[in-house]
Amino acid sequence: MADFVSTRRDGSVAIIIVDNPPVNALRQEVRAGLKDHFAAAAQDKTVEAIVLACAGRTFIAGADISEFGKPMAPPGLSDVIEVMENIKKPTVAAIHGTALGGGLETALGCHFRVAAPSARLGLPEVKLGILPGAGGTQRTPRLVGLEKAMTMIVSGEPIPAKDALASGLVDEIVEGDLTAGAVAFARKALAEKRPLVRVRDRTVEPVDAAKLDELTASLLKRARGLHAPAAAAKAVRWTLDVPFDEGLRRERDTFLELVRGDQSKAQRHIFFAEREAAKVLDMPKDTKAREIKRAAVIGAGTMGGGIAMCFANAGIPVTVVEAAQDALDRGLGIIKKNYQSTVARGGLKQEDMDRRVGLIQGTTDFGAVKDADIVVEAAFEEMALKKKIFGDLDRLTKKDAVLATNTSYLDVNEIARATNRPGAVLGMHFFSPANVMRLLEIVRGAQTAPDVLSTAIDVGRKIGKVPAVVGVCHGFVGNRMLRVRGIEAERLLLEGALPQDVDGALTGFGFPMGPFAMGDLAGLDVGYRVRKALGERNEIADTLVEQGRHGQKTGRGFYIYEAGSRTPTPDPEVEKLIVDTAARLGVKRRTIGREEILERLLYPMINEGARILEEGIAMRPGDIDVVWVYGYGWPVWTGGPMFHADLVGLAKIRDRLAAFAKQSGDKTLEPAPLLARLAGEGRTFASLAAK
C-alpha cells in the first residue's frame, strides 16, 4: 500500500501523495491507502492541515475502469471521501494535469482546491456510459451552480483551471511549485481561521427553471441515443429536490444500473479498444519513431486541405503542393474559410487561427517536398497517378522521409513498388472532413519498416487522431465492409424498400445517416468511378449518375435537395426508377420490415469483419470496432460491429446469413469460416482478443 500512497511532512502540514503511474487511477490499493493516510493524519495531533498531491504527470485522472462490472473491493470511493470531508483540519487538494471523474470527486472531498495553470478538471463519466458515482452529481452543483454543473456533467467535457477558478471549483491557481503553493494555502487558511465548510453542506443556488430546461435540452440533443447523459441530467436536478444523502443514494443506484447496461459495456469496450488499436503486436520493442519537424501534403482539394489543417493544428509546419495555381489558391482559401468559421463560432481565437494559417505554405513547385520529414499524398484515386507521384517523391525527398498515401482502397504495396524504398511507404487513410473526423486508418504495407509504422502512429496521435493499424486489401477495413453493405442496400431497393426506408433503419439504429444520404453527400460519381474501375455495376446508383444526378452537389441524387439545402426529400422519379429496374430484372418487390433491413445491412458487414480477422488484415476485433465508430459513425453505444455481434449472438447471425445466402443465391453471404466456428463453439469475437 505504501507503494501507492505515502505521507511526508512539511512542518505541521501532512502531504499525502498518490503515486500510481501512469495516471494515478483509483485502484483498490489507492482507495485503501487514501482512507488510511487521511484517517492517520486526522488523528495525529501534530498535524494541523493536510494537502493531497499526486506524483508524476497528473492528479488522479479517474477510476480504474477495469474494476467496473466486477465486485468492488472495499473501500468504495464514497467511503474514502466520507473520511476526508469529516476531518476538522483544513484539507487542500493540489491539482495538476487532469482531475477527472473519481479524481475530481476525491478533490471535492477536501475543503479547498488549488490548481496549476495548465490543469483541467472534469467529470467525463458519460463518455463511458455512466455518471459520477461518488457524489460528483451532488457536490459539483453546490460549488459551481446548477447550469455549470449540468454542462460539465452531461457533456463530460473538462474545463481549464482558469474556468474552474471563475466558477468556484478551485480556490486558487498556483504558479510555480504546486505542492509548496498548496501548503502555503493551507497555512494561510489556518492563520485566517477560514471556515471549514464541507462541499456537501453548501447551498445550491436557485436558477431560472426555464433556462435550465433549455440548457438541458440542448445538451441532450447532442447525446441522441445515449442513456447516461439523460440520467446524469436527472441526477444533477436532484440537488434541488432531495437531501444530500438521498441524492447520493440515488446517484449510486443509477451508477450501478448504468454499469450493468449494454451501453456502458459498449462504451467501455471502445475506450479500451481505442488504446489497443495502435499497438502492433509484432513490432520490435526497441523501435523508435522518426522525428517529424515538417510535413508536406500533395493535393489542395478537400482532403488535402483538411490534412494540412491537421498538421498545422498540431503546430507542425506543412507545405501544400498542387499542380495548378488556381487549384492551390482555391484550396488555401477553403482552409482559411474553415478556420474563420471556427473563430466565428467561438471555437478558436483569432491569434490561434493566424498562427495556424501561418504554418501552412502553398506552392506549385513539387520540389518543395525536399525539406519534408513526412509527405502525405492526397491526389485523385487513380493508381497510375499515384505511382507517378511516388516515383517523383522517391527522387526528390530526403532519404529518411516517410512517404504516405491517403488512398481509401488502392493497393499500398503496388504504390510502394513505384519507389526504390518500399520500406518508407505506407497508407495514412484520413476520413472526410480530415480536420474533423478522428479516425486514421494506418495501412501497413508488406515492406513497411517498423520505424516508419511507428512514426505514422506517433504522428496520428500528435495530430489528434485515433490511429488504427490495418493490412493491405481492397478497401482495407472500413471501405471493404462498407462495400458489402452497399451491395445489400441496392438489393433491398430492388426487392421492395425505398431509400428512405433503408436510411431510416440505420438512423434509427444510431448512425448519423444511411447509405443513400451518405452517397449523396459524398457524391454518387465517386463510387461510380470506383465500380467502373473494378468492372462492377450498381443498377440504381450508376443509372442516377448517368442521368447527371450526382447527389447534393447537383441538387439531385437518391433524394432531391432544394436550393442551398442539405435536407433530403424523397423523389418520386427515383422510386419509379427503382420499380422499373426491378421489373426489368425480374425481381418481385414486397414489403420489407425495419428489422430485416437492419439484419441485411449489418450482418454481412459483421461477416466481412470475420473474414478480415481471418486474413490478418485487422489484428483484433476491437480494431474493426474502432474503425467503424470513429470513421463511419457506427453508434458508440453499441460498441462497433464486432462487439454488437457478440451482443446479438453469433449463432443467430450465422443462421440469418445462411438464410440470406440461400434466398438470394449470393454465396458471399454464407457465414465466414471464423464466424461459423465461433458460433458452433458458443464463443464470441471478444474471446479472440482474450487469448
Q: 332-389 pLDDT, tens per residue?
A: 999 999 999 999 999 899 999 999 999 999 999 999 999 999 999 999 999 999 999 9
Q: Tell me, yes or no, if 377 is annotated catalytic.
A: no
35 lies in the same domain as 107 = yes
Q: What is the dihedral of CA 120, 50, 179, 20, to 10 degrees?
A: -60
Q: Is the pLDDT confidence value at 691 over 70?
A: no
460 located within any domain: yes
Q: Which of 125, 251, 322, 488 is catalytic?
A: 125
Do residues 169 and 254 share a domain? yes
Collapsing DSSP to helix, strand or coil, 469 comes out as: strand
Is residue 276 assigned to a domain?
A: no
Pair 325, 226 in one domain = no
Do 48 and 113 have their domain in common?
Answer: yes
Q: Looking at the structure, do residues 566 and 633 belong to the same domain, yes or no?
A: no
pLDDT tens per residue, range 552-567:
999 999 999 988 788 9
Give residue-wise pLDDT tens across range 10-19: 999 999 999 9
pLDDT-based confidence at 1, cuts 50/70/90?
Answer: very low
Asked which of 58-62, 489-493, 526-530 is least confident by mean pLDDT, the reply is: 526-530
Are 389 and 536 contained in the same domain?
A: no
454/340 same-domain check: yes
Q: What is the tally of structural domains in the chain?
A: 4
Check whether the bond before 22 is cis (ω within 30° of 0).
yes
Banded model confidence at residue 70, pLDDT cuts 50, 70, 90:
confident
CA distance 7 to 16: 4
Task: Name the catalytic one among 29, 67, 105, 382.
Answer: 105
pLDDT of residue 152: 97
Are 92 and 236 part of one and the same domain?
Answer: yes
pLDDT confidence tier of residue 690, bands split at 50, 70 and 90: low
Measured in degrees and rounded to the nearest 5, phi and psi for residue 295 equal -120, 165
273 falls within a domain = no
With respect to residue 267, please indicate whether it lies within any of the assigned structural domains. no
The verdict on 343 and 460 lying in the same domain is yes
pLDDT of residue 28: 95
Q: At CA 595, angle to CA 591 and CA 601, rounded to 5?
A: 95
631-643: pLDDT as tens digits: 999 999 999 999 9
The CATH code of the domain that includes 22 is 3.90.226.10
Q: What is the pLDDT of residues 192-213, one digit of tens each?
A: 999 999 999 999 988 988 999 9
Beta carbons of 206 and 138 less than 8 angstroms apart: no
The CATH number that applies at residue 633 is 1.10.1040.10
User: Which of 411, 437, 470 is the last residue before a domain boundary?
Assistant: 470
Q: Which amino acid is at 298?
A: I
How many Cβ atoms are within 10 Å of 387's Cβ, its own excluded? 17
Check whether residue 21 and residue 158 sit in a common domain. Answer: yes
pLDDT by residue (tens digit) across 433-446?
A: 999 999 999 999 99
Residue 84 lies in a domain: yes
Does residue 105 carry a catalytic annotation? yes
Residue 275 lies in a domain: no
Cα(176)–Cα(195) distance, rounded to whole angstroms?
27
Judged by DSSP in three states, 673 sits in: helix
| Residue 671 shares a structural domain with residue 623 | yes
Euclidean distance between CA atoms 266 and 628, whole angstroms: 13
Could you give the percent of the chain with pLDDT greater than 90?
92
- Residue 358 domain-assigned? yes
Domain that holds residue 508: 478-585
**CATH number reported for the structural domain that contains residue 556 in this entry:** 1.10.1040.50
Q: What are the angstrom distances between the C-alpha of 43 and each of 74, 79, 88, 109, 687?
A: 22, 17, 10, 18, 49
Query: For the whole model, what pTM was predicted?
Result: 0.92
Which of the listed residues 237, 260, 283 is the one where a domain comes to its end? 260
Q: Are residues 128 and 28 in the same domain?
A: yes
Chosen domain end from 585, 616, 648: 585
Report the CATH number at residue 354.
Answer: 3.40.50.720
Mean pLDDT of 406-432: 96
Q: Which residue has the cell 458458443?
A: 682
Q: Hey, what's the cell of 23?
A: 495516471
Neighbouring residues of 486: CB distance < 8 A, sequence distance ≥ 6? 515, 527, 538
**Domain presence at residue 284:** no
